[in-house]
Structure 1
């Protein structure tokens, strides 16, 4: 089978190599999937830049999101049949024609649901669901800020927040505001042209935000925290701002998050939540399975409806990475075999 290996850190056009490798065999608790397509996540870009400590050392087979059909399974797996259409979270290894993963990370795709769209479910939709349904409770009328609202996770966060009756503020770069409006974002904000903090203060007057979902980190996180009212919650699930420089810039980004005391949070009744779905999958597979089941229910009822930014062929992996890194994509970037 073929696999796309990260062989060199840096620019996308110099980073990857397609190699012939052996088909993996499922362990007792694993499912083998014949991959039809896989999705990119921003963590892939960070890994390609050499800034993601969780990524395997080069040559590395990246990839979290795959969609395809069940090929085989281990002795402890009983819920699947040959040919079942599934979406799955892979603990790396997704950039290949076949992938294995734990059975808790595999879910059957609803009938007639598009295979390409399914690549947005295991990582991005599960992240959005866990952030919005497990970390916090969204109430009707809540003022909610979603950074990078036109991205894969951001799109689904908007859909869940609107389903819960929230007023949504969404940030995105230029050219994406019409897309945000189509999702139902009440106040689209172009962060390249105006200060999101000042704009939200202007809109809310003396009021503040109830929940912020942040994947940018650094100064954006600190500014957003200041917009929270007592009882508000920050949910951070990324640090995309670290791509603005190398490892030294990443250190500066970490400092720019700010420093928070438990006493400070107690007195204001604010909460800080940080989410890494790989950690949930690794240490709480039962919880991950429950989240994935919840995602599929929202897919069936139409609450969650991912958007495809663009589709690429496997030998266009560099172009796919470049698009995602440019932050010009809207929705999920998909690669097909």
Structure 2
């Protein structure tokens, strides 16, 4: 009887292991430093009627994820939460209302959080087939960086062949995405970055690298343009930096704002709140009359606030994927980190070591 009892327990455990499936995800447990990022297991996801289940092969890491970890990103979900706006992977299952022909296809998807996990469920409008010439890691760079860059330069920036653009942080993933698009348009490109990234950026086609750490970027830009400035400046810095960027505009110039990275601090709490307030106080106020008199424009881009425009996002993504097939969009992955090393990935970006995109892989 004793032998049978143990055998029954073993059989029961075998059955549970065989039919209980779990997936891993990166969880922001609270606000704080790298140690608040934990890998947790949860039951496998199941798609609802109109959803698609993706087995994630690569997930993008963005500066917004870092701000969210610190509690400095207002759009982040309540903690604990799983961040992640973009993935690439293979469709594992679909809901009853979705064509089963999607199962097994390699796709890229934009996600409204939840992307830094081994599985994610999305609507069909959020996915596109992955270009064959891109790896999963390269494909995961497309949804956030290239969509934002497309809106900044093409949709709202209206950049033309006979114009010039200043790209701040040209060496990051967003900067390289903008550079690909600006080169395709035929515009003259200026870009700020640390000196160590200049050779790489020149090889990628940047016309005028500017060392913002050892020089005053505004003075150097004005020298390079004979004090005329440029038609478009894209600025993710925020605060008082927007004043300088606005000053750098030529007549009919536009300032595109898409972040306030200077509001980030090394920790959360009161210091983070104070840093944010200081950044907000330093922001300029754009009155309509000076804009009229100077023939300038100012606009902002926040991809996370465009979820109510899926048709537009799908159209923009289609044009980006066409650029991939035509060869003028070439995503660059700086490095990849495993889920287990997500803290190191956050640190790598915060120390501005990356040239291009940082990717997380399960």
TM-score interval, normalised by the smaller of the two chains:
over 0.9
The match for 1:7 is: 29
What runs of 5+ residues in structure 1 fail to find an aligned partner?
none
1:88-127 CA deviation, whole Å, 9 max, x = no partner? Answer: 1110001111001222221111123211101101111111
| 1:36–1:97 Cα contact (<8 Å) kept | yes
TM-score normalized by the length of structure 2:
0.89
| One of 290, 293, 296 as aligned partner of 1:267 | 293
RMSD between superposed Cα atoms in Å: 1.5
TM-score normalized by the length of structure 1:
0.95
1:271-328 CA deviation, whole Å, 9 max, x = no partner? Answer: 1111111111x11111111111111111111111111111111111111111011111
Secondary structure of residue in 2 paired with 1:175:
helix
Distance 1:180 1:7 in 2: 37
The match for 2:88 is: 67
Secondary structure of residue in 1 paired with 2:315:
helix
Compute the displacement of 1:153 (Å). Answer: 1.1
| 2:94–2:100 Cα contact (<8 Å) kept | no
Compute the displacement of 1:80 (Å). Answer: 5.5
Secondary structure of residue in 1 paired with 2:48:
coil
Distance 1:276 1:25 in 2: 30
Distance 2:115 2:225 in 1: 43
Aligned counterparts, 1:43-82, within 5 A: 43-78=64-99, 81-82=102-103
What runs of 5+ residues in structure 2 fail to find an aligned partner?
1-22, 266-270
Compute the displacement of 1:40 (Å). Answer: 0.2
The match for 2:253 is: 232
The match for 1:257 is: 283
The match for 1:23 is: 44
Say whether residues 1:99 and 2:125 are aligned partners.
Answer: no
The match for 1:290 is: 315
| 1:70–1:80 Cα contact (<8 Å) kept | no
| 1:211–1:233 Cα contact (<8 Å) kept | yes
Say whether residues 1:223 and 2:244 are aligned partners.
Answer: yes
Compute the displacement of 1:177 (Å). Answer: 1.0
1:62–1:80: structure 2 CA closer, same or farther, 3 Å change rule? farther
1:41-84 CA deviation, whole Å, 9 max, x = no partner? Answer: 01001101110011111111111111101122335544951111
The match for 1:171 is: 192
Distance 1:259 1:76 in 2: 49
The match for 1:313 is: 338
The match for 2:273 is: 247
Secondary structure of residue in 1 paired with 2:195:
coil
Q: Structure 1 residues 27-36 or 60-69, which shifts more?
A: 27-36
Secondary structure of residue in 1 paired with 2:264:
helix
The match for 2:168 is: 147
The match for 1:276 is: 302
